[in-house]
Amino acid sequence: MPFDLPPVTRALLIANVAVYLLQMLTGDLLIAHFALWPLGPSPYADVGFEPWQLVTYGFLHGGLTHIAFNMLALWMFGGPIERLFGSRPFALYYFVCVIGAAVAQLAVQAYMTGGYYPTLGASGGVFGLLLAYGMMYPHARILLLFPPIPMPAWLFVIGYGALELFLGITGTQAGVAHFAHLGGMAFGFVLIQYWRGKLPMKPRRILMR
């Protein structure tokens, strides 16, 4: 992967790392105000849902491993997709996926019983980029980490999406916002299809593939 990243991908990487470092200095202060909290009455006096959280949660992370994997994926897939889409459409696409992931998570939380807890992380945008990479470069080879097996991007995306759906439905992996990941992919898919003119709306043609 090249290190000369295009501007929006580079800015997102810098912003995420900078906010994470700020989290290390301020403790839970940023999470209290900028993580994505569920809709409805809050059992706590100092936290609760606010509209800006639909975006700001995507710059917060729950630990070093969390941000490391998200930034690795942003570095791997953000550059190729930004070069293909162009910087402005890429930024729009990324934040549509982030917001779409938040909407999906809020919808799922509204029907779940359990604790009142926040959602945070760039995973919604990252999963949208993964979906775009699989659609734009379906035959590119992606090397898995565990196990180290190469596979075409389209198969990796479908397999990963199916795994997220299974884990989300079964609740096998607690503490992970699987439906937010799926929401990022779903909103990304709709936007790409819109740009391609495959939805019953007037398309803005950006993608040439």
Instruction: Report how far residue 102's alpha carbon sits from residue 177's, in angstroms, rounded to the nearest whole number.
Output: 10
Instruction: Report how far residue 163's alpha carbon sits from residue 92's, in angstroms, rounded to the nearest whole number.
Output: 27
Q: Do the Cβ atoms of 86 and 12 come closer than 8 Å? A: no
For the segment 43-72, what is each residue's pLDDT rounded down to a tens digit? 787 889 999 999 999 999 999 999 999 999
Domain boundaries, the chain: 7-195
Strand partners, 150: 143
For the segment 183-202, what is each residue's pLDDT rounded down to a tens digit? 999 999 999 999 988 766 65
Is the pLDDT reported for residue 145 higher than 90? no
How would you classify residue 49: left for phi > 0, otherwise alpha for psi between -120 and 50, otherwise beta? Answer: beta
What's the pTM?
0.90
Q: What is the DSSP string of 10-54?
A: HHHHHHHHHHHHHHHHHTTHHHHHHSBPPSS--SSSS----TTHH
Is the pLDDT reported for residue 93 higher than 70? yes
Phi, psi for residue 83 in degrees, rounded to 5: -65, -35
Q: What is the mean pLDDT of residues 116-134?
A: 94
Q: What is the mean pLDDT of residues 113-119?
A: 79
CATH topology of domain 7-195: Rhomboid-like fold (1.20.1540)
- Among 93-107, 164-178, 183-197, the minimum mean pLDDT is found in 164-178
Strand partners, 143: 150
Residue 114: the pLDDT is 66
Instruction: Report how far residue 147's alpha carbon sits from residue 28's, in angstroms, rounded to the nearest whole number.
Output: 35
Residue 113: the pLDDT is 61
